[in-house]
Structure 1
Amino acid sequence: MANGTRADLVGLFHKDQLTIGISELSRMTGVSPRQLRYWQKKGYIIPKNEDEPGKPRIYTMRMVIKAAAMSNLLQTGYTLKAAAAQVDERMRPAQTMYHVIFDRYEGFEVTDDGELLVNLGTFDPDPSQQLFAKMVNGEVKFEIKHK
């Protein structure tokens, strides 16, 4: 049986892995660095290293997407506050999916007969069991196994 670890997937897709500086963020979004600093001051965008004063700001891809979407909404007439709220609401499903996938994922197993089982960790109602997901005829199915 082959196995994959949580680190395998998280290492590939970790949301904080890809970062850019404020100059690059400005170029990508068309928003001036001064305006981006104002958005940060207001709490609408948050640099990854916000707890390191004096260091150049770096932003995650999530903040890049948020800043770009806010810029687009501002151009269509939204206020800054309304644009930030709208983007947060639009990003909410994606953030939830990210957490469902990455917070629960503990690895995968390939059984001797070639079936791929995605380990989603402890089954909440019964800690002695683990929850697995698998594809059966193009549909996601779940399986519970004892630890």
Structure 2
Amino acid sequence: MAQSLQGDFRDLFHRGQLTIGISELSKMTGVSPRQLRYWQKKGYIIPKNQDEPGRARIYTLKMVIKAAAMSNLLAAGYTLKAAADQVDERMRPAQTMYHVLFDRYQGSQIGDDGEILIDLGTFDPDPTQELFAKLVDEQPKFILKPKN
């Protein structure tokens, strides 16, 4: 029988629990807090707690990546709007992959033979089956199992 792994990390990434403040974001990106507030005013970056006026701004990992990428493009000569647009376009495949993985991720288990199985939930074409992924020789492999 498979065992559940302890310390499920889904909520950490999926719910935006990895956050940093504006000072840390400024240090990481080399962009001043004043510029970051301007970028926020223009709608290019959005703090996680934007609906809480008067509170210190905190940013999710997604916004950290976006701000860092925008900073690099600005240094390469892009305008602010062009940098933001370019980053949004470049992030689309990563956002799709993120949603495919984390929206499907149900947890992980240790299989009968000791391998780690990633539970991707119900297999859409056949709801009586569950889809799992595992690594075999560093390559992802998929397994269908009858739903319990």
* 1:99 positional shift: 1.8
Give me the whole-angstrom Cα distance separating, in 2, the residues matched to 1:8 and 1:141.
21
> 2:26 aligns to what?
26
Give me the whole-angstrom Cα distance separating, in 2, the residues matched to 1:11 and 1:50.
20
SS in 1 for 2:127: strand
Q: What TM-score comes out, normalization by structure 2 length?
A: 0.84
2:21 maps to 1:36: no
* 1:112 positional shift: 2.4
> 1:103 aligns to what?
103
Q: What TM-score comes out, normalization by structure 1 length?
A: 0.85
Give me the whole-angstrom Cα distance separating, in 2, the residues matched to 1:13 and 1:48.
13
Give me the whole-angstrom Cα distance separating, in 2, the residues matched to 1:83 and 1:36.
14
2:65 maps to 1:70: no
Q: CA RMSD of the aligned region, Å? A: 2.1
Change beyond 3 A, Cα 1:109–1:32? closer
5+ long unaligned stretches in structure 2: none
Which AA in structure 1 matches 2:143? Answer: E
Give me the whole-angstrom Cα distance separating, in 1, the residues matched to 2:136 and 2:19.
37
5+ long unaligned stretches in structure 1: none
77-86 vs 17-26, which moves further = 17-26
SS in 2 for 1:127: coil
* 1:13 positional shift: 4.3
> 2:128 aligns to what?
128
103-112 vs 121-130, which moves further = 103-112
CA distances 1:88-147 after superposition (whole Å, capped 9, x unpaired): 122222222222222111122323233432211011122222111123344322121221
Contact map agreement 1:21 1:56 (CA 8 A) in 2: yes
Give me the whole-angstrom Cα distance separating, in 2, the residues matched to 1:76 and 1:59.
24
Q: Across the two proteins, how many residue pairs are aligned to each other?
A: 146
Change beyond 3 A, Cα 1:113–1:65? closer
Change beyond 3 A, Cα 1:122–1:61? same
* 1:15 positional shift: 6.5
> 1:16 aligns to what?
16
Give me the whole-angstrom Cα distance separating, in 2, the residues matched to 1:141 and 1:45.
37
